[in-house]
A and B are shown apart, each in its own frame.
Chain A
Amino acid sequence: MSTFSTNSQSPTPGQTIGPFFGYALPYEGDADLVPPGSAGSIRLHGWVYDGAGNPIPDALLEIWQTDAEGNVPQAEGSLHRDGWTFTGWGRADTDLNGRYTFSTVLPGASAEGTAPFFALTVFARGLLDKLQTRIYLPDHPGNAGDPLLVSLSEDERATLVATADATGLRFDLHLQGDRETTFLTYG
């Protein structure tokens, strides 16, 4: 393999998802990586806000995660879920109040001492290209040594760690403003 191929091409630019994805991308069971209420299931939920603090009713979020043991799933079946196969991927659109909900399991650490996280992609009308970030688990011992978390200020770090609540985890996204979520680049 050649990392610096002379053959390399520019990436195709992204564009906004627009307001009218609602008939195309959401589907029955899209946000349920596991059946809600099943053994070991948690709810991962929150609100998506704009720079004026108003909830965004036309955002689409996707998560991708390891299973509870820390394995990267490589199973088909995210679009036609059978209720038993864990595929690690889910899609949720925000409702009219700007809220999203996933039913899933806590991701496991891929190795001893590392921090598990949900990888998250965010799309919305008014957002000209996708944004990517991570959702870390509150009080996980691996967080202390996570290279990304330790590279951030306390305020930035706080934007990437979920809060435990009665049903699982809450994680709010702020596209802009005082509590602007820290977004990531992987170059």
Chain B
Amino acid sequence: MTAPNRPVETQADLSAEIESIETAADHTTPQPLLDYPPYRSSILRHPTKDPRHADPETIELWAPCFGHTDVDPLEADLTIAGSNEPIGERITVSGRVLDGEGRPVRNQLVEIWQANSAGRYIHKHEQHPAPLDPNFTGVGRCITDAEGRYRFQTIKPGPYPWGNHVNAWRPAHIHFSLFGRAFTQRLITQMYFPSDPLFALDPIYQSITSQKDRDALVATYDHDLSVPGFSMGYEWDIVLTGPSRTWTEPEEGDL
């Protein structure tokens, strides 16, 4: 993708940019910087103006409803899509969805998607020549339970190369999509795995400038979640904040 006559951008170039932004950042927001040039695709795709404040009203104080008519419990198991076992390390990923006050966010749709154990997505534009796994689609859904807990059975995704710069590799991750109780709580994010050597090199992970907030995207290995003779366990909690309508406990329809 590099234009002729332009120097090839190496990891060293990118890492220097990442470090320079990290040094200058004020580290006060947990959210990623939308204007983050080390992630080259962000250059033309970030708004240049600050968002305008709006008081949430009507539709913004509520979220769409999803429930058992929408999601089959089997969709939480990503290892049963084919006629055989998928290749890779079996994992259980579970955690709680909470609001900013630590209260469980119940009956909420959680959607995930991920690469297979070789670092390959099922996608026609995916160019990475790693094998597809006929027994793994990498897609799952579930509804949080009364404690706000979700649980997926899946395969640990592999890291994969991408075209941001020469020798760019994404840390292994699982994409998560959540709704919450108010439309303003909508969140799409990525869960990472502990001790990944690619963290410091990855512009998407590093677009969050505070270490504490980056850490919030990394799951914890939980031996109690590991299933003997079957799978390794990872625990990861998600905190949704943002304005919501006046809290009542319990919510109508929750019981």
Contacts and interface: CB of A to CB of B under 8 A. Distances in A.
Interface in B228-250: 238-243, 246-247
B10 interface: no
Given A74-B65, A110-B58, A25 B46 contact: no
A23 B121 contact: yes
A176 B46 contact: yes
A96 to B, nearest CB: 10
Contacts of A166: none
A41 interface: no
B223 interface: no
Given A24-B111, A131-B47, A186 B216 contact: no
B54 A23 contact: no
Contacts, number: 235
Interface in A120-140: 121, 123-132, 134
B175 A183 contact: no
Contacts of A5: 100-102
B11 to A, nearest CB: 20
Given A78-B70, A183-B51, A176 B56 contact: no
Contacts of A147: 54-55
A95 interface: no
A104 interface: no
A12 B217 contact: yes
B5 to A, nearest CB: 20
Contact of A151 (B44, B52, B240, B246): B52
Contact of B44 (A8, A50, A182): A50
Contacts of B52: 148, 151-152, 156, 182-185
B123 interface: yes
Tier of interface size on chain B = 35 or more
A174 B218 CA distance: 33
**Is the contact region of chain A dominated by helix, strand, or loop, or is it mixed?**
loop
A86 to B, nearest CB: 11
Interface in B21-75: 30-34, 36, 39, 41-49, 51-60, 62-71
A143 interface: no
Contacts of A186: 53-56, 60, 184, 242-243
A15 B239 CA distance: 14
A24 B64 contact: no
B138 interface: yes
Nearest to A149: B54
B189 interface: yes
Among the interface residues B56, B101, B137, B253, which one has the most CB atoms of the partner chain A within 10 A? B101
Contacts of B44: 50-52, 54, 126, 175-176
A14 B187 contact: yes
Interface stretch (B83-91, B148-156, B205-213): B205-213
- What 5 A-B pairs have minimum CB-CB distances, sorted nearest first? A126-B41, A24-B113, A89-B64, A126-B45, A79-B70
11 contacts: A2-B101, A12-B216, A12-B217, A15-B175, A20-B115, A73-B65, A79-B70, A128-B42, A182-B49, A186-B54, A186-B60
Given A9-B98, A51-B44, A128-B32, 5 more contacts: A9-B100, A25-B177, A80-B69, A126-B43, A186-B54
